Structure 1
Amino acid sequence: MSSHSAQTGSAALTLAALGVVYGDIGTSPLYTLKECFTGPAALALSPANILGILSLIFWALMLVVSLKYVSIILRADNKGEGGILALLALAQRETAGHPRLARLVVVLGIFGAALFYGDCIITPAISVLSAVEGIGVVSHQFDPLILPLSIGIIIGLFAVQSRGTATVGRIFGPVMLLWFATLAVMGIASILHAPQVLAALNPLHAIRFFANAPGTSFVLLGAVVLCLTGGEALYADMGHFGKTAIRNAWYGLVLPSLVINYFGQGALLLAQPEAIKNPFFLLAPSWGLIPLVLLATLATVIASQAVISGAYSMASQAIQLGFTPRMDIRHTSAAEKGQIYIGQINWALLLAVIVLILAFRSSGALASAYGFAVTCTMVITTMLAFLVLGKHTTPLRRAALFGVLGVLLLVDLAFFAANSLKIHEGGWMPLLVGLALFTLMMTWKRGRTLLMYRLREGEMPLDGFIGTLEHGGLPRVEGTAVFMTTSSDTVPHALLHNLKHNKILHEQVILLTVSTADEPYVPQEQQLVIRQLGESIFQILVCYGFKDSADIPRALAQAGALDARLNCDPMQVSYFLSRETIVPSPYPVMARWRRMLFSLMMRNAARVTSYFAIPPNRVVEMGMQIEL
């Protein structure tokens, strides 16, 4: 019975992974092969070229997705979590004793995370557009409706994000199961009419294709890479579904269905070269076009949903790791930690996607912008993997692993170089988005570091101060005062200001410090450390993982349950916070533009009360000015 239950649970998890993880890469057959022959390279539709392109697509899937991500990169998990920021946290741990290398690792990781948002903007636009363009195959009379319908679908998708993905997520798996089954059935029917297309499984066709036209072949890598979009999602979503479910879904259904459909499109082109106008939809019989357009649209919405959810998760991790300002994070599920909603990210993405659709107007035009951000992130992931993998294995296995990673890095670099040629055609857009976000994230990190340094300059050591405070003869008032501070060994500024201006002390004082570990989740029983510093003064150290939700009232309630001496009654607790204002320094440590940018980000950051779930009516803020 337990074995049956385990199998049922594994199947359900695999089905869920199918719906969330593989939406992006699962919809790539909509546009990849078409772009290879109608894009800037203008490749002739000869049998040799068709077999060569199919061979490149097949071996790209095998090397980059099957070997690199599914077999190797999934091993680089941070307590079960994946994604480039989780990989960055692992790499930082490995380079702790090498400051220069550690700084380079941070720059690479944050740039990769910033480029991820470029991908988040393009994916919904190109996916939905490519699906809705299928109505043009039904009748060209519908062509004027493509843009309005696409924008309407996008607006509807982003509008329902605040409700969470729990309800919609239940249908994701079955819909994508139907989608991949449809891909396979259409592909098989076409391959039966031209079985010679299966010769493209031989890598010699790809090699000959490169040998005959190396320049054209190199440029076409920029289109072939479209079949790999979504590969990073395999790693990023590992924490939600686990390695086993992701691998089972890939090898059991996704990879076979993708390959069969690509080869089916190739077989159609061998028999009917004119089908290149839209080889995916022309695989279907005329009676099945409208249902296929509807199914494809639903599949692309699911693909977009996966990327949008990834954007929320990435933002949450970046906040906890100290690379972006606080944002209002709403948890949309009481059972699943990963289901969150961030309004600022949602509406910024919606605006960017609509602008992108209106600017490029077709999936073919967007394909020129697609790929640069993806391939750059692929390169960074492989480079960071060198630092993380192979640490706890034999020298022989380590050498073999590094040899394979070296080959895969060359493949990534080839795709990246080919996509660099598309920068002037639209690749500048994700690069510009990535550079802008990278500048914001590094400015915030640098500004916070300098701010903490300035704050520590004026702080008093905690040792010795506690005794003075206890026996200073200050008037006492009822209740508990919680002073939040970033340092556990110095006196909080808010406490000093309270003593200076109010000249009173609560009957119980708690100095509370919140820190973030370089792991995704910290077990609740390990999150708190309670110390008694004096008769009525306590120190509480709270440690969260970079994917944990920070909730200070809940932490205090837990502390009160652990230590009966603490008075953590919510109606008796007052929170004293410092609110810093940045002013110019006579000897500035930041460039003027960067200081202004950091100051702007501070003013627009979510309030501490909201981020830490502190009741606003229990908060006293003590203002202070900091020179930078």
Structure 2
Amino acid sequence: MAEKRHPLTDEPHTLTANKHPHTAISAGGLLIALGIIYGDIGTSPLYVMASILKNGRVPDLVEASLVLGGISCVIWTLTLQTTVKYVLLTLNADNNGEGGIFSLYSLVRRRGKWLAAVAIVGGASLLADGVITPPISVSSAVEGLRAVYPDIPTVPIVIAIIAGLFVVQSFGTQIVGKAFGPIMLVWFSMLAILGGMWIVQNPAILKAFNPYYAYELLVKYPSGFWLLGSVFLCTTGAEALYSDLGHCGKGNIRISWTFVKSALLLNYLGQGAWLLQHQGQQLDGRNPFYALMPSWFLLIGIGIATIAAIIASQALITGSFTLVAEAIRLNMWPKVKLNYPTDVKGQLFVPSMNRLLLLGCIAVVLYFRESVNMEAAYGLAITLTMLMTTILLTAWLLAKRVAKPLVVGFAVLYGIIEGAFLVANMAKFPHGGWVSLAIGGTLMAVMYVWLRAHFIKRRLTDFVKLEPYANKLIELSNDGTIPKYATHLVFLSGAERASEIEQKIVYSIFQKRPKRADIYWFVHVENTDQPYTMEYKVTEIAPNDVLRITFRLGFRVEQRLNLYFRRVIEELVRNKEVDITSRYESLSKQNVTGDFRFVVLEKFLSVENELPFMEKVVMQAYFYIRQFIASEVQYFGLDTSSVKVEKVPLIISAPQNVTLTRIR
């Protein structure tokens, strides 16, 4: 018996063909989770305590209240923010096994248009964080070499590592990714062992588990509240736990987080134990993380830290690609070219975003030069992302009909926690925080323009009923006085209803240049809120003469219309629903298949417009940005040899009062 295959992809058809399988708990899954998810949060011990001490009352002076309070704040931030909010609560808000702020938005967007603004702020802030994370992670690791080589120039080394990291993105990370898990296992084991060694020597640091020390630091220590900006750095990678849900599954994430959190706490406590032994001393720029290492192990430890920092950067880069792909399907980002370098489901490469991130990371390294300076820019943007996730999660809890007192309690608790972090991080604004906000603000502007322009165009695009034109299309097809344009003529349509078509398409077929064809195809792509939907529907407007195909594709499905359209045609031919043999008499006798030609209508802003000021600004910005991005032909994966692009004017609001006076 022949194996049944999926009609769109020609892959074996299974019950899970339309959804991403939720990864089962396994040793392999746990190892993969270590490599994919925890790079950012796992490398935070490199700089968190150094940042807290730097921002103390007397910078670099070791004070017992500062050490115990700082460690206590870290412990309870990891517990409340990462464990409770993300690992226990947010992971439940999965979209067919997928996570991330745009997946969460897809689940709740019908509850209010204003939630789009929340998703835009959160998504843009997360992308901005992607420009800061690679420089600070790699710089923090490489600067450890100064303990051995005090005068070594670190900036060229950091730029070289980051440049190499972005260059390899186009090849995919399937092979490299298999090594991530074991390396991160070594990294977290090293964190735990180094920390444990010092805790044994000075167990007094265990008092930091008492939240009173955190309270004392924030309330009684001079400027203690503003240290939250440094404390927050310990949880900046928490959003990745949710964003990468689809790669590992919530079970693997929850179990592996137990190990990761234990390793992180041991290391933080170990750094605290070492610091307590140096009370009253100036650190003079020494990083307490590297101070835990025996001298013979220092170079090895720096090497492992550098590799872990690279993995942290890699995870955030690929996460940014996924975020952009999701934003495109939600009409929040230009339809840029997407590549799929490997066969791994969900792995993709966005060339334009890769270039932007590379330039942004190099600019950050050259501007700040030192990781301690980058800390001023780091954390502010991701605080906004976490706040936006809290708002969307509150909407999701309400949609799930969770008891309102519990929902209100959640919103108030995390509103206060993240609001406090945001206020504390705002102190970083004049010292470099403006960089991440400027990057995030630019990205928010692009997302706003794209989404607003989408709604403006959709609202004012003229649609007409397709059925009245069916007979006219058949007559045109049989009119031998008009040269045949193509055997099969395929138009991409934005009409959501199968019974409608854009007026511009009718104009293109009958008036701009009569386009005679044997069969007219109208293809519409509908993006679903589920990540991996792959469905299609065929509507016969006129049997074997005028047909419409509607593809329902998930927001993480690659747009390969050439392939999908061909698969559907093969299915229709097998079922004898359509005859694609050429209707030229000489070719029909030989059963020659006719040619297929796609027509893509590319709009431009007509000069015949009178727009309100804001809509004019939005549309001008929209068409300006479009000059620098790939065309729809590339985005939809169409074969350029069989595509005709037609320019059509977009008249959004025509002038109403035009008075001309005839003179003689």
Is TM more than 0.5 here?
A: yes
Q: Which runs of 5+ in 2 are unaligned?
A: 1-21, 582-592, 653-664
Bigger Cα Rg: 2
Shift of the 316–322 alpha-carbon distance from structure 1 to 2, 3 Å rule, reads same
Q: Which runs of 5+ in 1 are unaligned?
A: 1-5, 96-101
Residue 522 of structure 2 aligns to a residue whose secondary structure is: strand
Q: Is the 8 A contact 2:135 2:364 kept in 1?
A: yes
Shift of 1:109: 0.8
Which of 101, 104, 114 does residue 114 from structure 2 map onto? 104
In 2, distance between residues paired with 1:495 and 1:7?
A: 48
In 1, distance between residues paired with 2:597 and 2:613?
A: 35
In 2, distance between residues paired with 1:7 and 1:220?
A: 39
In 2, distance between residues paired with 1:403 and 1:27?
A: 32
Shift of 1:603: 2.3
Shift of 1:399: 2.9
1:238 has 2:248 as partner: no
Equivalent residue letter for 1:138: V
Which of 316, 319, 322 does residue 307 from structure 1 map onto? 316
Aligned to 1:175: 183
Shift of 1:451: 2.4
Which of 261, 267, 274 does residue 261 from structure 1 map onto? 267
* Structure whose residues are more often helix by fraction: 1
Q: Is the 8 A contact 1:17 1:241 kept in 2?
A: yes
Q: What's the TM-score once normalised by structure 2's chain length? A: 0.87
Shift of 1:274: 4.4
1:30 has 2:30 as partner: no
In 2, distance between residues paired with 1:192 and 1:627?
A: 74
Q: What do residues 220-279 of structure 1 show as CA deviations (whole Å, max 9, x unaligned)?
A: 00000010111100000001111011111101x110000000000000011124456210
Equivalent residue letter for 2:357: L
Aligned to 1:67: 84
In 2, distance between residues paired with 1:266 and 1:503?
A: 79
In 2, distance between residues paired with 1:384 and 1:167?
A: 36
Q: Is the 8 A contact 2:23 2:249 kept in 1?
A: no
1:508 has 2:514 as partner: no
In 2, distance between residues paired with 1:31 and 1:344?
A: 31
Aligned to 2:532: 521
Aligned to 1:534: 542
Shift of 1:464: 1.4
In 1, distance between residues paired with 2:580 and 2:76?
A: 61
In 2, distance between residues paired with 1:248 and 1:474?
A: 69
Equivalent residue letter for 2:327: A
Q: What do residues 80-125 of structure 1 show as CA deviations (whole Å, max 9, x unaligned)?
A: 11111111111213x1xxxxxx232111111110111110000001
Residue 133 of structure 1 aligns to a residue whose secondary structure is: helix
In 2, distance between residues paired with 1:392 and 1:104?
A: 19
5 Å-filtered alignment, 1:469-488, equals 469-471=473-475, 474-475=479-480, 477=484, 479-487=487-495, 488=497
Equivalent residue letter for 1:583: S
Aligned to 1:557: 566
Shift of 1:129: 0.4
In 2, distance between residues paired with 1:452 and 1:371?
A: 37
Shift of the 497–186 alpha-carbon distance from structure 1 to 2, 3 Å rule, reads same
1:425 has 2:431 as partner: yes
In 1, distance between residues paired with 2:402 and 2:365?
A: 51
Shift of the 235–567 alpha-carbon distance from structure 1 to 2, 3 Å rule, reads farther
Residue 376 of structure 2 aligns to a residue whose secondary structure is: helix
Which shows bigger deviation, 551-560 or 615-624? Answer: 551-560
In 1, distance between residues paired with 2:432 and 2:150?
A: 27
Q: Is the 8 A contact 2:600 2:633 kept in 1?
A: no
Which of 128, 137, 157 does residue 127 from structure 1 map onto? 137
1:611 has 2:628 as partner: no
In 2, distance between residues paired with 1:188 and 1:567?
A: 74
Which of 185, 192, 195 does residue 200 from structure 2 map onto? 192
Q: Is the 8 A contact 1:84 1:113 kept in 2?
A: yes
Residue 459 of structure 2 aligns to a residue whose secondary structure is: helix
Equivalent residue letter for 1:136: R
Q: Is the 8 A contact 1:331 1:337 kept in 2?
A: no
What is the number of residues matched between the two proteins?
604
Equivalent residue letter for 1:598: Y
In 1, distance between residues paired with 2:176 and 2:26?
A: 20
Q: What do residues 307-338 of structure 1 show as CA deviations (whole Å, max 9, x unaligned)?
A: 0001100110111111111111110111x221
In 2, distance between residues paired with 1:471 and 1:461?
A: 18
Q: What do residues 417-459 of structure 1 show as CA deviations (whole Å, max 9, x unaligned)?
A: 1101211111111111111111111111212222233432xx4
In 1, distance between residues paired with 2:612 and 2:489?
A: 35
Which of 107, 116, 126 does residue 116 from structure 1 map onto? 126
Shift of 1:567: 5.2
In 2, distance between residues paired with 1:132 and 1:433?
A: 25
Q: What do residues 69-90 of structure 1 show as CA deviations (whole Å, max 9, x unaligned)?
A: 0000111111111111111111
Residue 539 of structure 2 aligns to a residue whose secondary structure is: strand
Aligned to 1:455: 461
1:588 has 2:588 as partner: no
In 1, distance between residues paired with 2:646 and 2:488?
A: 17
Shift of 1:627: 3.1
Q: Is the 8 A contact 2:52 2:231 kept in 1?
A: yes
Q: What do residues 388-416 of structure 1 show as CA deviations (whole Å, max 9, x unaligned)?
A: 02544563xx5335423421221111111
What percentage of aligned pairs have identical amino acids? 31
Q: What do residues 602-627 of structure 1 show as CA deviations (whole Å, max 9, x unaligned)?
A: 22231222111110010112221113
Shift of 1:8: 9.8
5 Å-filtered alignment, 1:25-424, equals 25-39=41-55, 42=58, 44-93=61-110, 95=111, 102-142=112-152, 145-213=153-221, 216-251=223-258, 253-272=259-278, 273-275=281-283, 277-334=286-343, 336-392=344-400, 395=403, 399-424=405-430
In 2, distance between residues paired with 1:574 and 1:581?
A: 22
Residue 255 of structure 1 aligns to a residue whose secondary structure is: helix
Aligned to 1:99: none
5 Å-filtered alignment, 1:563-602, equals 563-564=572-573, 565-566=577-578, 572-589=595-612, 591=614, 592-602=616-626
Q: What's the TM-score once normalised by structure 1's chain length? A: 0.92
In 2, distance between residues paired with 1:158 and 1:576?
A: 36
Residue 342 of structure 2 aligns to a residue whose secondary structure is: coil
Aligned to 2:556: 547
In 2, distance between residues paired with 1:248 and 1:133?
A: 33
